[in-house]
């Protein structure tokens, strides 16, 4: 953890706001506040598959209501970053709908491969979103967002070892109504949204139909792209949602939801930050054992001798950690993500018990063409091939090469080294994914027992077609020195092009399927009755997973025989909670729980020797222990919650960069052994009076590798080396904090009011990979500590023509900080770079409802 003045200020502000000023709250706060988060206003959540007041749930959970969502301009999953303790979310690599979600230090994969499942589940109205590439989806018509921290392996199931994010949409209104919004912003941004509620039809049926559009130009100038609307960061999104509800008397309902969104644009720019000299990296001693380190290609001296097609790109190709708002990308083609889904829910209360069925089908199609992942424009450079190795060498040396006939020596000596126009890395992708799930829950309660049992079925199929072209820089002097004995130095002295580019086109083409079945149950007992204060919860789940992969190509040419892999996984997970309520405003809980993330396949791994079988990696498991305190003090004008936890992971899945047998770059998933996470987090909401409140949170997590058996020994006959002492976990922000101040004043105009909010959030920078042995630039790619200030001014509930009108001014990242958020180390290819947070954005919106 790196303490800075901003950390200290955040902690002091939070402490002072929550405690020093409490007496003023107790004296001044009125009792009839009705706004979101106000005193006496319980926030209802469904984190345990039943409606409960937020403070009554013995879990670490944050809930954000509709009003706050609208005011803070939450448009997709990524906008939730920093709004809850120990929760950070960043943009993925190329998919416009991807999100890298980290909860309590556990991250979803930055790789968007179908081989690795998410560690933090994202749910939309109870439907699990299986792929991280589709988890940054646009959301509209939300009632609230629930962020559950800690493993949720019983009720939510597999792939929630870090936690879960649940989006809950609003029900159709019983009255006819129209609500909408239009807005403008910098970067030529504009947006529009309209929602129509039909009201009750025939006393049983009601529906909502919504459409939204938002777009903006790019915020980084690509000098090779004349159109601002196609610069990096440009985005155009359309979304539609329909929700229909039919009531089944007074005991149940049928609800159908359809949602569709399509995003077109240009991914944020990759910026080159580091290049290797090609200097040898000798084995490193770890706990007395020598471990082989990844050797890097000599990119730095190679780039010094290339000729850029656009001379202006030469300066912009120089590696730097300083943020650039101008860049040179020769291929930054359009990306498109289309997501749509059906959700059918049927629920009825039969008295002694209730039954709910949730069935969903979702589809995600993602494509992008020509993503430039080296951060520079095209260049002309010497090209390597075995046939032209001796081009330009003097005849006096060629005579010593027996394979070169004397008649050909003059021709070879006069022939130049061929050149190529290329770049270091270029990739395209086409992904298709479909999933189906169904879940049945049966629940009930008695005077001293709440219970729920259920079954879950899930099936998915995903395919990826990934062409890429990589350039590996070869120092040909090493060939001459290593193979030509005493003549080697003479060839080196005469070498007309020492550094040459090996251009390797390759395609990765595969399809995966996964099937999961689970049964679960959870029971909460109130031994002395519901008013006794004590409750004991026990839950369990058993999951069966079956996964398969078929690969048609993993290199320059299709495979003669498709390669396949198949593996079954299963796991029993459990959950135990004891809660004691001292009074309606103070409670404590202790929790022990387990979670499980299914294993899978590295799509680019070579087949096992002598076979066409693709090897797999193991699933990961977690055992979590948590203590929590939840309070509402001073006549419920201060809400203060704190939780401490320790999570122990076995076979944690991490990413390492590799050069494949096909000569191209991929990231590979390995099981890291054993890792312990220990942390503490707190959140508060202090409501001083009807005009002023402060809210905030703080979180800290310490990660300790216990075992990480991943080091390659110098002697291949020796066992793999434990490198835990030098390992880090990727995408962990050790310290997070946020604080927001809210002012609200009534206007002498009906129910109109003006609201002000300013908020500050901090996230520690994190590593992107696990070690410098396989990721040489990992330390250099450590993310920046990020400090962000946002603000909004809203004039709401203005009575106009019989309706409500709302006008808002908003700004994100007011200080325009340019923080490095995540990196990519291309390992043996010899260079690295990454992505920066979005610059300052601001705008105005006008909303209405009738």
Share of the chain above pLDDT 70, in %: 93
E strand or H helix that includes residue 395: helix 395-398
Q: Say if CB 100 and CB 822 are below 8 A apart.
A: yes
Question: In this predicted model, what pLDDT tens digit does every residue of 762-802 receive, in sequence order?
Answer: 999 999 888 999 899 999 999 999 999 999 999 999 999 88
Where is pLDDT greater, at 133 or 342? 342
pLDDT for 35 equals 35
830 alpha carbon, distance to own chain's centre: 26
Report which of 13, 1, 2 is spatially closest to residue 761, judged by C-alpha positions.
Answer: 13
pLDDT for 34 equals 31
Question: In this predicted model, what pLDDT tens digit does every residue of 372-399 receive, in sequence order?
Answer: 888 888 999 999 999 999 999 999 999 9
pLDDT at 848 over 50: yes
Report which of 52, 61, 57 is spatially closest to residue 150, judged by C-alpha positions.
Answer: 61
18 band by pLDDT with thresholds 50, 70 and 90: very low
Share of the chain above pLDDT 90, in %: 71
Instruction: Return d(Cα 105, Cα 554) in angstroms, integer.
Output: 33
Q: Say if CB 631 and CB 585 are below 8 A apart.
A: yes
Q: Within 13 A of 176's CA, how many CA atoms are on the CB side?
A: 2
pLDDT for 133 equals 80
pLDDT for 664 equals 52
Distances (CA, A) of 48 to 224, 355, 453, 577, 712: 52, 15, 12, 12, 45
SS3 249: coil
Least confident of 271-280, 364-373, 818-827: 364-373
pLDDT for 20 equals 37
Neighbours of 510 (CB within 10 A): 26
Residue 775 has what DSSP assignment? S
pLDDT for 391 equals 96
Longest dimension (CA), the chain: 103
Instruction: Return d(Cα 90, Cα 274) in angstroms, integer.
Output: 21
Instruction: Return d(Cα 620, Cα 648) in angstroms, integer.
Output: 11
Q: Say if CB 755 and CB 793 are below 8 A apart.
A: yes
Report which of 806, 787, 813, 688 is spatially closest to residue 742, judged by C-alpha positions.
Answer: 688
Per DSSP bridges, beta strands 271-275 and 831-836 are antiparallel
**Tokens at residue 610, please?**
């002598």
Q: Say if CB 192 and CB 239 are below 8 A apart.
A: no
Q: Within 438-500, where are the H helices?
A: 476-483, 488-494
pLDDT for 665 equals 56
pLDDT for 11 equals 40
Least confident of 37-41, 73-77, 550-554, 632-636: 37-41
pLDDT for 115 equals 81
Across the beta sheet with 163-169, the strand order is: 60-65, 142-149, 163-169, 120-124, 127-129
Instruction: Return d(Cα 426, Cα 373) in angstroms, integer.
Output: 6
Length of the chain: 850
pLDDT at 622 over 60: yes
pLDDT for 153 equals 84
Question: In this predicted model, what pLDDT tens digit does every residue of 670-699 receive, in sequence order?
Answer: 787 899 999 999 999 999 999 999 999 999
Question: In this predicted model, what pLDDT tens digit does every residue of 473-508 receive, in sequence order?
Answer: 999 999 999 999 999 999 999 999 999 999 999 999
Tell me the CA end-to-end span of the chain in Å, nearest whole number: 51
Distances (CA, A) of 500 to 60, 305, 390, 443, 780: 55, 10, 12, 68, 26
SS3 482: helix
pLDDT for 666 equals 61
Distances (CA, A) of 74 to 641, 794, 826: 24, 15, 33
pLDDT at 611 over 50: yes
Where in 38-92 does DSSP place strands (E)? 44-45, 52-53, 60-65, 87-91
**Tokens at residue 27, please?**
């004296």
pLDDT for 375 equals 84
The residues pairing with 799 across neighbouring beta strands, listed in sequence order, are: 804
pLDDT at 22 over 50: no
Q: Say if CB 513 and CB 459 are below 8 A apart.
A: yes
């Amino acid at each position: 953890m790196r303490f800075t003045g901003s950390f200290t200020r955040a902690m002091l502000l939070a402490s002072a706001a929550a405690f020093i000023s409490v007496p003023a709250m107790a004296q001044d706060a009125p009792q009839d506040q009705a706004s979101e988060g106000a005193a006496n206003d319980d926030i209802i959540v469904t984190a345990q598959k039943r409606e409960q007041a937020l403070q009554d749930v013995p879990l670490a959970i944050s809930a954000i209501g509709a009003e706050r969502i609208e005011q803070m301009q939450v448009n997709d999953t990524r906008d939730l970053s920093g709004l809850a303790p120990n929760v950070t979310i960043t943009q993925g690599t190329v998919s416009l709908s991807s999100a890298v979600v980290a909860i309590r230090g556990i991250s979803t994969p930055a790789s968007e491969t179908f081989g690795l499942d998410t560690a933090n589940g994202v749910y939309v109205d109870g439907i699990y979103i299986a792929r991280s590439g589709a988890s940054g989806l646009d959301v509209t018509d939300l009632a609230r967002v629930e962020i559950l921290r800690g493993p949720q392996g019983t009720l939510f199931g597999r792939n929630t070892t870090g936690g879960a994010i649940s989006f809950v949409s609003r029900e159709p209104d019983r009255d006819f109504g129209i609500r909408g919004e239009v807005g403008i912003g910098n970067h030529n941004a504009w947006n529009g949204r309209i929602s129509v509620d039909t009201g009750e039809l025939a006393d049983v049926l009601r529906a909502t139909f919504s459409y939204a559009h938002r777009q903006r130009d790019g915020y980084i100038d690509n000098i090779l792209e004349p159109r601002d609307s196609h610069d990096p960061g440009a985005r155009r999104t359309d979304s539609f949602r329909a929700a229909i509800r039919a009531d089944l008397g007074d005991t149940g309902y049928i609800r159908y939801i359809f949602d569709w969104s399509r995003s077109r644009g240009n991914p944020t720019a990759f910026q080159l930050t580091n290049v290797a000299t090609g200097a040898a990296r000798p084995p490193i001693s770890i706990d007395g054992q020598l471990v082989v380190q990844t050797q890097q290609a000599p990119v730095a001296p190679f780039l010094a001798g290339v000729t850029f097609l656009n001379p202006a790109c030469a300066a912009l190709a120089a590696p730097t950690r300083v943020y650039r708002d101008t860049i040179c990308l020769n291929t930054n083609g359009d990306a498109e993500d289309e997501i749509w889904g059906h959700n059918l829910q049927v629920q009825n209360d039969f008295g002694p018990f209730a039954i709910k069925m949730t069935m969903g089908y979702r589809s995600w199609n993602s494509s992008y063409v020509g993503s430039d992942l080296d951060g520079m424009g095209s260049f002309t450079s010497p090209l390597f091939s075995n046939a032209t190795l001796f081009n330009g060498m003097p005849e006096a040396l060629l005579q010593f090469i027996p394979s070169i006939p004397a008649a050909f020596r003059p021709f070879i000596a006069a022939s130049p080294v061929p050149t190529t126009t290329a770049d270091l890395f270029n990739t395209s992708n086409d992904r298709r994914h479909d999933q189906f799930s169904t879940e049945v829950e049966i629940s009930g309660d008695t005077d001293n027992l709440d219970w729920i049992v259920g079954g879950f079925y899930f099936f998915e199929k995903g395919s990826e077609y990934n062409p890429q072209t990589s350039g590996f820089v070869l120092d040909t002097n090493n060939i001459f020195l290593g193979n030509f004995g005493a003549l080697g130095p003479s060839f080196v002295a005469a070498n007309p092009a020492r550094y040459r580019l090996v251009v390797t086109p390759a395609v990765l083409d595969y399809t995966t399927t996964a099937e999961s079945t689970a049964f679960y149950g959870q029971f909460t007992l109130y031994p002395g009755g519901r008013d006794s204060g004590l409750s004991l919860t026990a839950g369990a789940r058993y999951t069966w997973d079956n996964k398969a992969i078929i690969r048609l190509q993993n290199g320059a040419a299709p495979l003669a025989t498709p390669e396949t892999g198949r593996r079954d996984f299963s796991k029993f997970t459990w959950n135990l909670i004891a809660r004691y309520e001292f009074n309606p405003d103070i409670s404590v809980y202790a929790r022990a729980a387990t979670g499980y993330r299914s294993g899978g396949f590295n799509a680019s791994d070579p087949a096992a020797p002598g076979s066409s079988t693709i090897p797999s990696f193991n699933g990961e498991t977690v055992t979590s222990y948590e203590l929590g305190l939840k309070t509402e003090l001073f006549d419920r004008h201060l809400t203060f919650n704190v939780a401490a936890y320790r999570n122990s992971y076995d076979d944690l899945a991490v990413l390492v960069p590799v050069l494949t047998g096909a000569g191209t770059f991929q990231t590979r998933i390995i099981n890291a052994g054993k890792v312990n996470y220990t942390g503490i987090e707190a959140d508060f909401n202090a409501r001083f009076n009807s005009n002023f409140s402060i809210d905030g949170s703080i979180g800290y997590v310490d990660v300790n590798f216990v075992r990480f058996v991943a080091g390659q020994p110098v002697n291949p006959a020796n066992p793999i080396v434990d490198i835990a002492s030098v390992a880090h976990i990727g995408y962990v922000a050790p310290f997070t904090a946020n604080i927001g101040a809210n002012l609200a004043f009534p206007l002498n105009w009906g129910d109109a009011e003006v609201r002000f909010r300013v908020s500050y959030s901090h996230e520690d920078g994190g590593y992107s990979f696990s070690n410098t042995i396989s990721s040489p630039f990992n330390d250099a790619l450590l993310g920046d500590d990020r400090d962000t200030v946002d603000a909004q001014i809203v004039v709401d509930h203005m009575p106009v023509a019989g309706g409500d009108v709302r006008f808002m001014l908003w700004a994100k990242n007011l200080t325009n900080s340019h923080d490095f958020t995540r990196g990519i180390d291309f390992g043996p290819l010899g260079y690295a770079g990454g992505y920066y947070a979005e610059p300052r954005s601001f705008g105005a919106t006008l909303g209405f409802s009738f």
